């Protein structure tokens, strides 16, 4: 009666996974023990049967791409499983309120900045009818009038020192 | 496209993260629009202008080679408003004003103007006489329009600084 350990050693011998010294011992065993020889022959025929009939799977893509697809699928599954938590956070009422509010505020600031002065007091933007007139000297005055017919605006400067 | 985005952004009362994404797109689109329009406005703030120093009189043209006849269009416009019959060009300067800063233009030994583009075809025009600012005027100046600063001169004559866009 052969032991389980001997069975394992015979299997290892068949797979070529033992040392030369162990192989010599097992060869001697197989020479005089018919039970061991019978088991070994059975193992050998089973192995040959498996090797000869193993399914040959051919991939239509490269090995790296095939496994990367599997990896991506696993990642997607992981994200899908963790998404409900994020969705729950985002659907909180205060998030739905604050995000648009913050964006609108940023937008308003951007608009205000864009129409404000770029260099000091030099305005980029003027009202359609924002006409101004100024005569800083005391001895002068002015008045403005417009002729629509002539498409002309006139500022008449009057000096009082004459 | 904006209409679609606005429609999507208004439907935020429905729960779900997907509702926020169109709002982001809307906000970014709007922001991009304003940045773009600001750039365009800065570019459009550049104005090609022409300033003429004109002398108006009821007398005939004096024997001064520096004096030239004023462009007929300008002359007729001035005649339509003022009492003087004859208008002579003393000096003419063409220049470009940008958003970068004001432009100083010397019209005569005693007279100088400073023009600044305010964008949207508006300008600030300052008139300096003997180094002192006499008058400042802010005005929208469209193509074909005149902005005229004027005043009495000796012997019942008048001076005019005529600012207009250069005709292309």
Residues 141-160 of A with CB under 8 A from B: 142, 144, 147, 149-159
Domains contained in chain B, number: 2
Chain A residues closer than 8 Å to B146 by CB: 150-153
Radius of gyration of chain A (CA): 47
Please tell me whether residues B92 and B34 are part of one structural domain.
no
Stated length of chain A: 162
- Structural domain of B84: 47-165
Chain B nearest C-alpha distance from A154 (Å): 5
For the entire predicted model, the pTM comes to 0.51
Please tell me whether residues B116 and B157 are part of one structural domain.
yes
- CA–CA dist B102, B168 (Å, integer): 23
| Phi, psi torsion values for A44, nearest 5 degrees | -65, -45
Span B89-98, pLDDT tens digits: 999 999 999 8
| Phi, psi torsion values for B140, nearest 5 degrees | -80, 130
Please tell me whether residues B40 and B51 are part of one structural domain.
no
CA angle A96, A81, A93 (to 5 degrees): 15
Looking at residue B18, the DSSP 8-state letter turns out to be: G
What's the mean pLDDT when you consider all of chain B? 81
Please tell me whether residues B58 and B39 are part of one structural domain.
no
Please tell me whether residues B8 and B59 are part of one structural domain.
no
Span A39-78, pLDDT tens digits: 999 999 998 888 777 777 777 777 778 888 888 889 888 8
Please tell me whether residues B61 and B127 are part of one structural domain.
yes
On whether any CB of chain B is under 8 Å from the CB of A100, the answer is yes
pLDDT of res. A31: 92
Please tell me whether residues B26 and B99 are part of one structural domain.
no
| Phi, psi torsion values for B131, nearest 5 degrees | 85, -10
pLDDT of res. A41: 93
- CA–CA dist B39, B20 (Å, integer): 29
Chain B residues closer than 8 Å to A117 by CB: none
For residue B133, the Cα-to-chain-centroid distance in whole angstroms is: 19
Please tell me whether residues B52 and B38 are part of one structural domain.
no
**Farthest CA pair distance, chain B:** 86
Please tell me whether residues B7 and B88 are part of one structural domain.
no
Looking at residue A126, the DSSP 8-state letter turns out to be: -
Please tell me whether residues B9 and B36 are part of one structural domain.
yes
Which residue out of B137, B141, B158 would a mutagenesis test of the A interface target, given it has the greatest number of A Cβ atoms within 10 Å? B137
Please tell me whether residues B68 and B148 are part of one structural domain.
yes
Q: Enter the tokens of residue A99.
A: 């995000």
């Amino acid at each position: 009666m052969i032991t389980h350990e001997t069975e394992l050693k015979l299997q290892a011998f068949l797979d070529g996974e033992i040392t030369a010294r162990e192989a010599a011992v097992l060869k001697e065993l197989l020479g005089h023990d018919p039970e061991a020889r019978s088991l070994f022959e059975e193992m050998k025929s089973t192995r040959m049967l498996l090797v000869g009939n193993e399914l040959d799977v051919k991939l239509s893509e490269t090995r790296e791409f095939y496994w990367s697809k599997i990896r991506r699928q696993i990642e997607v599954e992981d994200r899908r499983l963790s998404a409900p938590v994020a969705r729950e956070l985002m659907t909180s009422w205060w998030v739905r309120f604050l995000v648009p509010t913050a964006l609108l505020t940023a937008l308003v600031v951007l608009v205000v900045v864009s129409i404000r002065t770029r260099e000091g007091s030099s305005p980029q933007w003027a009202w359609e009818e924002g006409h101004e007139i100024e005569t800083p000297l005391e001895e002068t005055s002015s008045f403005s009038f417009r002729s629509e017919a002539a498409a002309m605006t006139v500022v008449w400067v009057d000096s009082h020192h004459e | 496209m904006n209409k679609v985005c606005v429609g999507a952004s208004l439907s935020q009362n429905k729960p779900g993260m997907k509702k926020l994404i169109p709002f982001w797109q809307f906000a970014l689109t709007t922001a991009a629009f304003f940045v773009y329009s600001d750039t365009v406005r800065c570019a459009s703030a550049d104005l090609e202008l022409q300033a003429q120093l004109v002398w108006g009189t009821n007398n005939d043209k004096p024997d001064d080679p520096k004096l030239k006849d004023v462009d007929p269009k300008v002359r007729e416009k001035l005649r339509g408003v003022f009492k003087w019959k004859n208008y002579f060009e003393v000096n003419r300067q063409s220049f470009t004003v940008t958003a970068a800063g004001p432009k100083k233009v010397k019209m005569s030994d005693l007279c100088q103007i400073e023009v600044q583009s305010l964008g949207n075809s508006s300008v600030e025009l300052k008139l300096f006489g003997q180094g002192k600012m006499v008058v400042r005027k802010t005005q929208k100046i469209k193509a074909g329009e005149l902005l005229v600063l004027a005043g009495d001169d000796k012997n019942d004559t008048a001076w005019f600084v005529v600012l207009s866009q250069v005709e292309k």
